Structure 1
Amino acid sequence: MRTGRDPLVPGGGTDAAVDATSGSAPRPAVRELTAGDVFTALDTSRRGLSAERARAGLKRYGPNEMPRTRRRPVWRQLAAQFTDLFAVVLVVASGITFLAYWLEEPRDVGTLQLAVAILGVVVLNAAIGFAQEYSAERTAQALEAMVPHASRVLRDGRRLEVSARDLVPGDVVVLEAGDAVPADCRVVEAHELRVNNAPLTGESNPVSRTADPVAAGPPLEARNCVFMGTDVVAGSGRTVVYATGASTEFGRIYRLAAAAPRQKTPLQHQVASMARRVAGAALAIGALMFAVRLPTGESVVTLFVFALGVMVALVPEGLPATLSVSLAIGVRRMARRNALIKQLLAVEALGSTTVVCTDKTGTLTQAEMTVTRVWAGGATHPVTGVGYAPGGEVADAAQVRELLRVAVLCCNARLVPPEGGQHWRVLGDTTEGALLVVAAKAGLDLGAEETAAPRVTEFPFDSDRKLMTTVHKNGVGYQACAKGAPAELLARCAEMEWNGRDGPLTEEHRATVLAASDALAAQGLRVLAVGRRELDGPRPAQDEAESGLTFLGLVGMLDPPRPEVADAVVACRRAGIRIVMVTGDHPLTGEAVARRVGIVRGPDPVVVTGARLDAMDEEALDALLAEPSELLLCRVSPEHKMRVVTAFQRRGEVVAVTGDGANDAPALKHADIGVAMGASGTDVAREAASMVLLDDSFASIATAVRLGRSVYQNIRKFLVYVFSSNIGELGPILAATFAGFPLVPISAVQILAIDLGSDVMPALALGAERPEPDVMERPPRSRSERLFSSAVVGRILFLGGIQALSVCAVFFWHIHSAGVPFDDFTEDDPVYRKAVTLAQGAIVFSQFFISLAVRTDRQSILKVGLLSNPALLAAGGFGVALMAAISYVPLLQDVFGTAALDAADWAVLAGLGTLPLIADELRKWWLRHRSDHRKGARQ
């Protein structure tokens, strides 16, 4: 994904590039230059750039920021709502109806009413969809900041604070602990400088930086460079900017994420397929009805209006609005559980997730190093409490107080108490922060210890010695305090403290210490050894201060898993979801965390590094992912993550990816559902994701999956409800056509009134149904599973057929009771007007009872409770009230061509309406009885 340009090479060439202007030999990358030569190579000086040079650089290179995501203008967002296939069909239908009105002689106001009503449906659906998407996008825009706001630089030799966006190559930037790195820079001066590269690499260990030249290699491995998006955790230094904006490593990942296409969710594919089929069926049946009635001699315009009525009866006008609002209900429910959904359709995608590729640091863990074990004098002392809050205790603290006193004296970090709504936090190295916290748990007064033993000199940590040593005034003498890698520090020790007494460090003791260190490391702990030495003066040589030490003990720490993650992992496993850890961290660290949270339970998980992934072709990768074994992917890059996600999708999996770093952004965007951390995550990760966890809790994913699955179930419920109604509307029209009745049993305007007035609100209430108890006990549905499965279609035909028979019965019963020949009926005939009113009423009552029936698949509605969804009852009551208004209000009678009904008519309608509910209860009883019979036979 990289271009040929290497930003570590002055002038922007590659490592092997030749200066085209001079024909000179290839110029080395800035990482290979001495600190002094860096200034020359980047055309700057130790005094920094001049103001004039900085302005010229800003004009040449542009601002130090990522390219802004181009958002669609509001008018385009609104216009997009009218490109939905249902909307297009209805707009065309409305246009034809308007044309029919102008061609009619005489003009029928009913045709004009139909045209306006159809257009009104389209506008209403568009308004609802636009409101939901606009609201979600405004929320997402609040997450766009991608670089620090200000930086300290040298300009004309003066130290200034300038906006980070105004940095240019050649600027000298001053960094201190706690600063965010504003651009890619070459270090020219370092004082114990350590940075956290986790946002780019996924590896949580702070890494030291040096001003010395290093050999050529991958940019992120250059130990004399710091990168945009990372943080300084310890020390200070001066750096020279060599890359800004999109040319940085952060920018490379941003471009990788921007190039990744946003994947369509399974529901998008299925709704699009359903819309094409339903629209095609509506047009085909409308054309068929036009052709069937053409020989009757009616005018072409009248037949057009009739065919449009048939088409409108089949098109579920309220479905787009119902779908949007139902998804919005899911969004609100998830928001109450700290999950912000940026795209409505992502709600349902969660419900079909089959694989979760999760990051480790900050997602499964708390990103707060915590000491859990202290080993001293042959005994292990457990430590309680997690995170940076000094709540907890050290077992037998008195036995390790000297060890912890020496450890905290050898620290540069600072523990900051809560303020301004923030939690306890650490300024500086997180490992040192963990030492400060455990010392406080043991009862040490950190400030008092520093006052009693002031520091006089220091030998900073470096990767060769793997030690850090400080010298302190200790009473009348001086004392060296050292901490570092166990093997390195132990090799410099001559004595050992055992049970409060110093004695010779024997080979047996060395073996015991190394075994204890290995045992702690096997538990996934990062282990530090601590030692001290008494000195004669304040300025010893480094070799003197770090030799002849007295070994005090070991400290084991880890980034603790979030306490709720283990239960969430169990819930995901029970739901048939595979969890794969994808991290940039070390394999041993990754496996230890995976075991603690339950991702790994077996003895031999498959652990694959990024290097091994590079050696695999697509077939080998597919074979690896097809294995049912527990899988951990460690030391992986953003490209590796994207490749793994793509491979899973190639196998038909619905993939969710979690992450918090910029390195996670490409995979977050490419996944079916990207889940970013809201509190600790980077802005670029939140921008790329479809969902943001406001509490950074992996457990929120399991909750979101449960809600997502219920959304899909509810969508199926209101599809059965809506399309059974369409059959109830179409059936009488077809019956009248083939029976030779010259008029329609229900007009297109009445159909629109039913679809929007009596159908939409109950459908919305069905969309708000709570998840069924066993929703997380079922396996994920296949990506190929259709919304209109055979069971769904069968139930639509079953309920819709009963409803259609009821409507036909009440309509033709009233027509025949008048004793008037079919050909003598007109649209103004009182008998016909009352018959169409009865037909509309029969549909409304049937739909109310069907809405109760579809709340469950097999369970009786009596067991669920008729009153357990009050919104559904209120919606049904509204539909009946609207029907009464259409029957009795003179103005509405004129619009809809209806007549007043008496008490006996209402009783008949209510009785017919219960038939679908009774029939469906019998169907459910038979299914339960058959299931119980089969279970008994198997036993």
Structure 2
Amino acid sequence: MRPEPARQEAAALRGGGPPAGVTATAPPPDRQEVSPSSIPALPVPDVFAALGSSPRGLPPDEAAARLNRHGPNDLPSAGHGHVWHRLVAQFTDLFAVVLLVSSAITFLAYVLGRPRDPATLQLALAILGVVLLNAGIGFAQEYSAERTAESLQAMVPHTCRVLRGGERRELSARDLVPGDVVILEAGDAVPADCRLVEAQEAAVNNAALTGESDPVARVAKPVPPGPPLEARNCVLMGTDLVAGTGKAVVFATGTATEFGRLFRLTAAAPRQKTPLQRQVAVMARRVAGVALATGAVLFAVRAPSGQPFVDTFVFSLGVMVALVPEGLPATLSVSLAIGVRRMARRHALVKQLLAVEALGSTSVICTDKTGTLTRAEMTVVQLWADGVSHAVTGVGYAPAGEVTDAGPVRELLRAAALCGNARLVPPAGRDQWRVLGDTTEGALLVAALKAGLDPAKEEALTPRVAEHPFDSARKLMSTVHRDGDGTYFAYVKGAPLELLARCAAVDRGGTRTPLTDAVRARVAAAADGMAAQGLRVLAVARRRVPGPRPPQGEVESELTLLGFAGMYDPPRPEVRDAVDACRRAGIRIVMVTGDHPLTAEAVARRVGIVRRATPTVATGTQLDGLDADGLDALLAGSAELLLCRVGPEHKARVVTALQRRGEVVAVTGDGANDAPALKHADIGVAMGASGTDVAREAAVMVLLDDSFASIVTAVGLGRSVYRNIRKFLIYLFSHNIAELVPILAATFAGFPLVPITAVQILAIDLGSDVLPALALGAEPMEPDVMNSPPRPRRERLFSTAVMGRVLFLGGIQALGVCAVFFWHIHASGVPYADFTKSDPVYRHAITMVQAGIVVSQFFNALAVRTSRQSVFRAGLLTNPWLLAAGCSGIGLMAAISYAPPLQAVFRTAPLTPTDWAVLAAFGVLLLAAEELRKWALRHRRTSPKGGTR
């Protein structure tokens, strides 16, 4: 029976005014002291009184006043800042600052030079162009990555039906205010947080807030006080009414809603810097400091020697430029972009370049269950009838498979198919078989088809005349059907315990057998046995009824049990291998789900996350009772951990606790409730197929196929990217030593000129080294990349082993170019003090230095492709882009040596074939020395830590 206020309102609407005995007075102002937690406990009349409303809704003038007072019912736009501020921020990165300083110094050298060299100006502009390119790449990535608040806003419905002054109106959802009476029907999105005052078989989908997609029944009667999200008489913004109808009074709008609370959590969560961001920042600070300090010291050493000020300054400039890897930011960005493209081909879309590397250092993956580990397709795998189990083959919604000995279970499946509202949709275009409606009912339809039944034909032969929808309190659904001879039957399905309690008999080969205590115990044991296998069990029953619309109590009593259907959401077939790969790689997997612990454990065992007899299982309620130390102890205790029945705050708290323990955390999510955890994580991973816009925008990676295996593949690619970054860092920084050491040697030897000019250094850094470095960044993933534990969060990009290789390879190059330079200088017999910049011998000597670095770098690129394995075993031709890039650098050097216009710019001289042969011999010597080092590493009993692979 409807509450009295609802009848009064209905009478008022029919008659155009208030019912007899009711005065049409304006409602009192809304009461600010009413807390949302007290709203569920109020009777319907008190709800109206507490919110200053009435069954007729708010008068228009009062609604307008409240709109001014409370503001519009929407979420504020995210404060991303002006676009120009975001662009300028790209130039405040320290590596960008280092490059800008390098460009400024080069331009200053041009200004101070006499005569001024136009080539110096051109190279200064070239460095500036590199800065602009890096900034453009970073800006484009970041500008498209952060739109979480806009996505939250897009989920709010635009219009809704409201009672204003007794009139039904359609209004913009932005104009809703507390006290408005909203009319809801199945399929409507809930526009604000509301308390139901009328409900007819209403059910909502709270997936956007709780992560659980099962419909949840809603009632209008009072319930115990508590959070609105847990109240059975409240419907909240961002959810959907999936069944029934109702009227509800708005009690919270905008950011005051539960949805708004999630918005605030998401907006407040800072984006975590990736390990590579932190390490590159440290490296940039050190490089800048060393470059400036070294240049300043050498300027102070040479200034008192009587050299001209400008010459001394240019000399110091050469030292600083030699230490700055001008091509590194562009090389790093493009290498990460290559990783992004490779991941996209593996169904993982990465929105931020630096997140590629962070994936490689992932040590913990917090994964949800449905859709990520499983296929999100309920499948009936076992049927029980008349004491016998019947296996069902096939997976998913495609009706491909069969039911073993289908005869005895045909009536069970026929009843289950009739007692449901789902519809099976065949493939169309690229779409696969899918279900419209409840997935459990869809699974029963598929099983019926596998048994040879046609649900549509059965529905036509036995049309439905009445329905009692599923209710979470009684956990049953029943329908009434008319048979061909005019007989009426009721079909009921639901939870085994609840339905068994209403059964008086069991079907035995078409015969109704009384359900004695002994038989009841055997039947219950059969249901328990199916549940123990991790199956979701539904019981199905029927009875004959006297007419088309019997009372619900009569329909759902004195039933005859037909049997049980056991179903489960099948794991994705590729997940078990992916879980095994995580174990080999030392990556811990923590399941974080809103599902029941038994269901979570069953799935975890199927995919290999749980192997022990007793994994650690904790619920959200248990997490609430733990302080920070208790949570740390829980996370550190067991390697197999399942967190069940958790909410968004729990997820974010767990992520923060894991990070506090030094872990690099990847988190998966698909709903708005996951957005805070996705932003808190080092790597937020959203579902592309089933996820909400909120989750996709909060994450830095989107799985296009929703599969856990794609995460693991992306982790392997991320590790490969990190290895490749180390390779080209060794390549780039080793030649910096070859540029710096000759300058230092000339200083201490008393030579008045630099062995290599700043212009030549820039030509090497920007002309000859970038393409080979890019080719190293594109090295394919090595087979053993997932056979080692993740690197520690605090491990430096420049580890001891990396710095050792830089010094080893750079030292060999430095010795070679110093030898050729001073050999030419001494062979001329000219005193040091008599050399000038235009001297042919000097120009030939500095050309040899530049060419020596370029040629040795070609062999260096081959050497750094592996750290332990011989490059000859890996194959010299397995990276043809590297060979082409190295040859292009040598070709550019040849042009600088032989082309008169470039000779004028770089002050170089033509090299002889003998010169090239000598330089090639030094390169071969470098490669041979590195191969000898690798041979020694391979033959040691214990390998050093921290090296690249």
TM-score of the alignment, normalized to the shorter chain, above 0.5: yes
2:668·2:684 contact (CA, 8 Å) conserved in 1? yes
2:115 to 104, 108, 116: 108
2:366 to 357, 376, 380: 357
2:36·2:228 contact (CA, 8 Å) conserved in 1? no
Aligned to 2:729: 719
Aligned to 2:161: 153
The alpha-carbon deviation at position 54 of structure 1 amounts to: 6.2
Say yes or no: does 1:461 pair with 2:467.
no
1:337-486 matches, within 5 Å, as: 337-419=346-428, 421-474=430-483, 475-486=485-496
Aligned to 2:582: 572
1:530-569 matches, within 5 Å, as: 530-569=540-579
2:246 to 234, 237, 249: 237
The alpha-carbon deviation at position 561 of structure 1 amounts to: 2.3
Aligned to 1:291: 300
1:510-548: CA deviations, max 9, x gaps?
A: 111110111111122222211111122223233322222
CA distance in 2 between counterparts of 1:703 and 1:25 reads 52
Query: SS state of the match for residue 753, structure 2?
Result: coil
1:44·1:171 contact (CA, 8 Å) conserved in 2? yes
The alpha-carbon deviation at position 145 of structure 1 amounts to: 3.0
Letter in structure 2 aligned against 1:109: R
Say yes or no: does 1:780 pair with 2:787.
no
1:342-388: CA deviations, max 9, x gaps?
A: 11111111100111111122322233333222111111122233333
Aligned to 2:337: 328
Aligned to 1:710: 720
Letter in structure 2 aligned against 1:134: A
Sort the Cα spacing of 1:194 and 1:402 in 2 relative to 1 into closer, same or farther, 3 A.
same
Say yes or no: does 1:249 pair with 2:258.
yes
Letter in structure 2 aligned against 1:681: G
CA distance in 1 between counterparts of 2:554 and 2:30 reads 54
Say yes or no: does 1:697 pair with 2:738.
no
CA distance in 1 between counterparts of 2:181 and 2:575 reads 44
Say yes or no: does 1:822 pair with 2:828.
no
Aligned to 1:646: 656
2:178·2:250 contact (CA, 8 Å) conserved in 1? yes
CA distance in 2 between counterparts of 1:136 and 1:350 reads 18
1:527·1:557 contact (CA, 8 Å) conserved in 2? yes
2:205·2:214 contact (CA, 8 Å) conserved in 1? yes
CA distance in 2 between counterparts of 1:845 and 1:162 reads 74
TM-score when scaled to structure 2?
0.91
Query: SS state of the match for residue 939, structure 2?
Result: helix
1:129-278 matches, within 5 Å, as: 129-135=135-141, 137-138=143-144, 144-146=150-152, 147-154=155-162, 164-278=173-287
Structure 2 alignment gaps of length 5 or more: 1-27, 945-949
Sort the Cα spacing of 1:367 and 1:161 in 2 relative to 1 into closer, same or farther, 3 A.
farther
Query: SS state of the match for residue 767, structure 2?
Result: helix
Aligned to 1:5: none
Letter in structure 2 aligned against 1:491: A
CA distance in 1 between counterparts of 2:536 and 2:58 reads 43
CA distance in 2 between counterparts of 1:720 and 1:773 reads 22
Sort the Cα spacing of 1:750 and 1:692 in 2 relative to 1 into closer, same or farther, 3 A.
same
Say yes or no: does 1:81 pair with 2:90.
yes
Query: SS state of the match for residue 224, structure 2?
Result: coil
Letter in structure 2 aligned against 1:508: A
Q: Which moved more, 1:83-92 or 1:605-614?
A: 83-92
CA distance in 2 between counterparts of 1:669 and 1:361 reads 21
Aligned to 2:741: 731
CA distance in 2 between counterparts of 1:21 and 1:532 reads 50
2:157·2:173 contact (CA, 8 Å) conserved in 1? yes
Sort the Cα spacing of 1:397 and 1:623 in 2 relative to 1 into closer, same or farther, 3 A.
same
CA distance in 2 between counterparts of 1:389 and 1:186 reads 40
1:490·1:551 contact (CA, 8 Å) conserved in 2? yes
Query: SS state of the match for residue 930, structure 1?
Result: coil
The alpha-carbon deviation at position 165 of structure 1 amounts to: 4.6
TM-score when scaled to structure 1?
0.92
CA distance in 2 between counterparts of 1:427 and 1:166 reads 33
Say yes or no: does 1:127 pair with 2:133.
yes
Aligned to 1:301: 310
Say yes or no: does 1:609 pair with 2:615.
no
The alpha-carbon deviation at position 433 of structure 1 amounts to: 2.8
The alpha-carbon deviation at position 264 of structure 1 amounts to: 1.1
Query: SS state of the match for residue 470, structure 2?
Result: strand
CA distance in 2 between counterparts of 1:473 and 1:907 reads 98
The alpha-carbon deviation at position 56 of structure 1 amounts to: 5.9
1:133·1:343 contact (CA, 8 Å) conserved in 2? no
Query: SS state of the match for residue 316, structure 1?
Result: coil
CA distance in 2 between counterparts of 1:75 and 1:643 reads 34
Letter in structure 2 aligned against 1:229: G
The alpha-carbon deviation at position 611 of structure 1 amounts to: 1.8
1:417·1:423 contact (CA, 8 Å) conserved in 2? yes
1:362·1:660 contact (CA, 8 Å) conserved in 2? no
CA distance in 2 between counterparts of 1:797 and 1:96 reads 27
1:656-681: CA deviations, max 9, x gaps?
A: 11111222111111111111111111
Query: SS state of the match for residue 786, structure 2?
Result: helix
1:144·1:683 contact (CA, 8 Å) conserved in 2? no
The alpha-carbon deviation at position 206 of structure 1 amounts to: 2.5
Aligned to 2:947: none
1:49·1:154 contact (CA, 8 Å) conserved in 2? no
Query: SS state of the match for residue 325, structure 1?
Result: helix
Aligned to 2:23: none
1:117·1:752 contact (CA, 8 Å) conserved in 2? yes
Sort the Cα spacing of 1:564 and 1:173 in 2 relative to 1 into closer, same or farther, 3 A.
farther
1:192·1:234 contact (CA, 8 Å) conserved in 2? yes
CA distance in 2 between counterparts of 1:23 and 1:89 reads 56
2:137·2:333 contact (CA, 8 Å) conserved in 1? no
The alpha-carbon deviation at position 427 of structure 1 amounts to: 3.5
Query: SS state of the match for residue 563, structure 1?
Result: coil
1:280 to 282, 289, 312: 289
Query: SS state of the match for residue 777, structure 1?
Result: coil
1:637 to 635, 647, 662: 647
Aligned to 2:76: 67
1:233·1:428 contact (CA, 8 Å) conserved in 2? no
Aligned to 1:937: none
2:363·2:588 contact (CA, 8 Å) conserved in 1? yes
Q: Between the two proteins, what is the percent identity of the paired residues? A: 68
CA distance in 2 between counterparts of 1:124 and 1:24 reads 60
CA distance in 2 between counterparts of 1:473 and 1:20 reads 53
CA distance in 2 between counterparts of 1:838 and 1:431 reads 77
Letter in structure 2 aligned against 1:399: P
Say yes or no: does 1:924 pair with 2:925.
no
Structure 1 alignment gaps of length 5 or more: 1-18, 935-939
Query: SS state of the match for residue 776, structure 1?
Result: coil
Aligned to 1:488: 498
Sort the Cα spacing of 1:516 and 1:179 in 2 relative to 1 into closer, same or farther, 3 A.
farther
Aligned to 2:862: 852
CA distance in 1 between counterparts of 2:330 and 2:208 reads 40
The alpha-carbon deviation at position 68 of structure 1 amounts to: 2.3
The alpha-carbon deviation at position 37 of structure 1 amounts to: 5.0
CA distance in 2 between counterparts of 1:186 and 1:134 reads 44
Query: SS state of the match for residue 256, structure 1?
Result: helix
Aligned to 2:900: 890
1:259-310: CA deviations, max 9, x gaps?
A: 1121111111111111111111111211121122122101223212211110
Query: SS state of the match for residue 544, structure 1?
Result: helix
CA distance in 1 between counterparts of 2:896 and 2:318 reads 19
1:754-802: CA deviations, max 9, x gaps?
A: 0011111111110111111101001100011111111111111111011
